[in-house]
Amino acid sequence: MAKNLILWVVIAVVLMSVFSNFQDQGTTAQEIPYSQFLGEVDTGRVDSVTISGPVIRGTRSDGSNFSTYSPETDNNALIGQLMNGGVAIRGEEPEGRSMLLQILISWFPFLLLIGVWIYFMRQMQGGGGGRGAMSFGKSRAKMMSEEQIKVTFKDVAGVEEAKQDVVELVEFLRDPSKFQRLGGTIPRGVLMVGPPGTGKTLLAKAIAGEARVPFFSISGSDFVEMFVGVGASRVRDMFAQAKKQAPCIIFIDELDAVGRQRGAGLGGGHDEREQTLNQMLVEMDGFEGSEGVIVIAATNRPDVLDPALLRPGRFDRQVVVPLPDVRGREQILRVHMNKTPLSDDVDARTIARGTPGFSGADLANLVNEAALFAARRNKRVVDQQDFEDAKDKIMMGAERKSMVMSEAEKRLTAYHEAGHAIVGLKVPEHDPVHKVTIIPRGRALGVTMFLPEEDRYSYTKRRLNSSICGLFGGRIAEEMIFGPESVTTGAQSDIQRVTEIARNMVTKWGLSDRMGPLAYGEDEGEVFLGHQVTQHKTISDETAHAIDEEVRRIVEENYAEAKAVLEENVDILHAMADALMKYETIDRDQIDDVMNGQPPRPPKEPPAAPTADTGAGGAGDTAKAEDGKDGDVGGRPASEH
């Protein structure tokens, strides 16, 4: 924006200078006929004149200016007349313009148009920043010098194993001879693999910051253009620049954008992308010396990469950057909390235990949301309640307090969420209930949030069956209290997740006694031009029928078990629904009171009302039974109820 503004200011100044310098100087004076000029000389009205060749400019006795053009080739007679009239005479050399200046004046508009056209072409083709039509094939990698990189390993938390894997890269960049004396070579390429937001880019910058070497950063999509060969040219230019700055690091983000497996898919090959990939393979090949240049790439889809990228001599080392565990989350929270004024009651360890499955980016967002809550409440520091509210907003969605629900709708929602909570508390190996609310959040009319007490990396058959029971708790409660005809569409997401879990138990996880410990592939296909195209069928019709029957059996058995749990605890169901109608949101302590047959204790004092509405966002309805991040089970989507 600033560069464009400066450009137009320069153009305006040039135009003003040209027109001011080359405009007719006589336009400021009255232009009169030569005969009138002679008459005024005779009558004594002319005070002084300046003669410049045939051009005569003068001043009258009353101070007014005039100009005229003399048709005479010899001004001797005129000068005598002026002398007799007492007119002051001054002579000037006639103005003359060189041929070069005349050409410049006549061609200036065309030159200006050509300059503007070149500027816009550079903006469209080169993406700005001084990369235009003449540098179309140049690398777009942004280079950061060692002085510009302030990130070190101290700023990267929660990925200790990944940091240990890349420590020797730092040692190699600092002292390459240490490895070369023994005939060893450091891996040319390091592929960082992990879910989004886990800090792959940050870790790559930290390597450069620790080694104090230049850092080239580029995205995989920056190589691909509509013209074939441009991406390959940019790869060559990027490696050529890197070799001049060696030792250095090249970081390619989202490598899968250019490194997809060649020849895969139904749409045929992409010539530009494949040529770019081929050039990258050649540049990274062991026969092409790139001493001192280490290529680090990041992706969250390593399964789609071309095998040639992963062979020795290229990206032959993979560093997994996983989601942080509870200790890692605590360390990440402390890094982000250092920039925020905190109250004494804030406990990073407690917050870390309550955020399983959160990535580093999620935790940064959590700290930011907590700071926003504190600012809305006009606080000077961020306290624990702000973090709890921020966590609820991220996990369950923002409260939609402006949404008006009828009393009957609220009661039906209360029984639905109470059914989820009671079944989840009564079945074995289920995550404990953290909070139940009938306040609309995100797309859900109500939310029951289960929060695991510790990180889980595998799930037993008993736990999966309990998850199915808990998901059915809401629908069964509606049917028990209001009758089969009053069952709503609020359990749509619950049914989808139940079906997914049961089918995975049969076809992927080998948890069906009838089908055995085998993996069954069903209709497989790819999305081509927006349509699912079936390629082949890997199981017979009889096996598919048996799988459907086994999935139905698992679902029906767990449905019956969940129904039996609610029938045995119908009094608790009524009590919890009444508590939800009274308080709208109940926490773990109040839920324990209801489960023990006691009246729920009053809720804690609510925080001060924010000065601005928190808005509506998030999807509290989309919890995942296979991971531990979104504990929401039983959200009822408002769009479907």
Q: Which of 502, 501, 488 is closest to 419 using CA atoms?
A: 488
Whichever domain contains 176, its CATH number is: 3.40.50.300
Residue 87 and residue 103 in one domain: no
Q: What does the alpha-carbon distance between residue 208 and residue 189 come to, in Å, rounded to a whole number?
A: 14
Is residue 11 situated within a structural domain? no
Residue at 71 is within a domain:
yes
pLDDT tens-digit profile of 139-149? 667 777 777 77
Residues 330 and 316 in one domain: no
Q: Answer whether residue 15 is part of any domain.
A: no
What pLDDT digit, counting tens, does each position of 167-179 carry?
Answer: 877 877 777 777 6
**Whether pLDDT at 115 is above 50:** yes
> Range with the lowest mean pLDDT among 110-124, 365-379, 572-586, 612-626?
612-626
Instruction: Mark the binding-site residues for ATP, compressed into ranges.
Output: 194-201
- Rounded CA separation 346/327 (Å): 16
Instruction: Classify residue 227: in a domain, yes or no.
Output: yes
Kindly report, residue by residue over 546-576, the tens digit of the pLDDT. 999 999 999 999 999 999 999 999 999 999 9
User: Residue 307, exposed/middle/buried by CB under 10 A (0-12, 13-18, 19+)?
Assistant: exposed
* Residue of higher predicted confidence among 521 and 154: 154
Are 511 and 465 in the same domain?
A: yes
How high is the pLDDT of residue 472? 93
Q: How far apart are CA 202 and CA 43, in angstroms?
A: 90
- Let me know whether 343 and 266 are in one domain: no
Residue 626 lies inside a defined structural domain of this protein: no
Asked if residue 617 is part of any domain, the answer here is: no
Give the residue numbers annotated as catalytic, written as ranges.
Answer: 417
> What CA–CA distance (Å, rounded) separates 440 from 461?
33
Residue 46 sits in a domain whose CATH number is 3.30.720.210
Last residue of a domain, one of 340, 366, 394: 394
H helices of 175-269, in order, are: 177-180, 200-211, 230-244
Please count the structural domains in the chain.
5
What is the SS3 assignment for 545? helix
Q: Identify whether residues 130 and 73 lie together within a single domain.
A: no
> Hey, which residues does 534 pair with through a beta bridge?
525
Q: How confident is the model at residue 4 (pLDDT cuts 50, 70, 90)?
A: low
Q: Is residue 443 part of a domain?
A: yes
Domain containing 341 — which CATH number?
1.10.8.60
Q: Sorting pLDDT into bands at 50, 70 and 90, what band is 130?
A: very low
Residue 389 and residue 459 in one domain: no
316, 332: one domain: no
pLDDT in tens, 61-98: 888 888 888 887 777 778 878 887 778 888 776 665 55
Phi/psi of residue 260, nearest 5 degrees: -65, 155
Question: Do residue 120 and residue 158 come from a single domain?
Answer: no
Res 26: pLDDT: 42
pLDDT of 128 strictly over 90: no
Is residue 625 in a domain? Answer: no
Residues 386 and 410 in one domain: no
Last residue of a domain, one of 372, 394, 416: 394
Do 444 and 351 lie in a common domain?
Answer: no
- DSSP structural state of residue 611: S
User: What is the pLDDT, as a whole number, of residue 3?
Assistant: 57
Mean pLDDT of the chain: 77
312-339 pLDDT tens trace? 778 878 888 888 888 888 889 998 898 8
83 lies in the same domain as 182? no
CB distance 634 to 497 below 8 Å: no
Among 173-187, 247-261, 527-541, the range scoring the smallest mean pLDDT is 527-541
Tell me which residue range forms the domain holding 378.
326-394
* Whole-number pLDDT of residue 625: 33
Which residues fall in the annotated binding site?
194-201, 416, 420, 494
pLDDT confidence of residue 623: 38
The tokens describing 416, both together, are: 């639905």
| Tokens found for residue 204 | 């790559």
561 and 531: one domain? yes
> Sorting pLDDT into bands at 50, 70 and 90, what band is 27?
very low
**Domain boundary, last residue among 295, 320, 345:** 320
Per mean pLDDT, which range of 86-90, 431-435, 635-639 is the poorest?
635-639
| pTM of model > 0.75 | no
